[in-house]
Amino acid sequence: MNERREKPEDTDLYTLIQRSQLGERDRQIALNAVRNAEWIVDACVWIAKGVRALAAKILAKPAGLKPSH
């Protein structure tokens, strides 16, 4: 089994972009793309948490009702 462990600083996407052989314009485009992707993921997570919380409220049983059997 070949197990490869990367150093944390080698796995940071921003560091990899900074170290890559890109022109400054391309580097800025890549950094902006990563920032935009992070923003989109954060927004999706925020929306999913909101939907989950709303669904929990809607589907929660009212406290005063008991099963009928």
Whether the model clears a pTM of 0.75, i.e. scores above it, the answer is no
> Average pLDDT over the chain, rounded to whole?
83
Nearest-5° Cα angle at 67, 63 to 69: 165
pLDDT in tens, 28-50: 999 999 999 999 999 999 999 99
pLDDT of residue 1: 41
Task: Report in angstroms the alpha-carbon separations of 39 from 14, 52, 56.
Answer: 15, 20, 26
Task: Read off the tokens for 37.
Answer: 């992707």
3 pLDDT above the threshold of 90? no
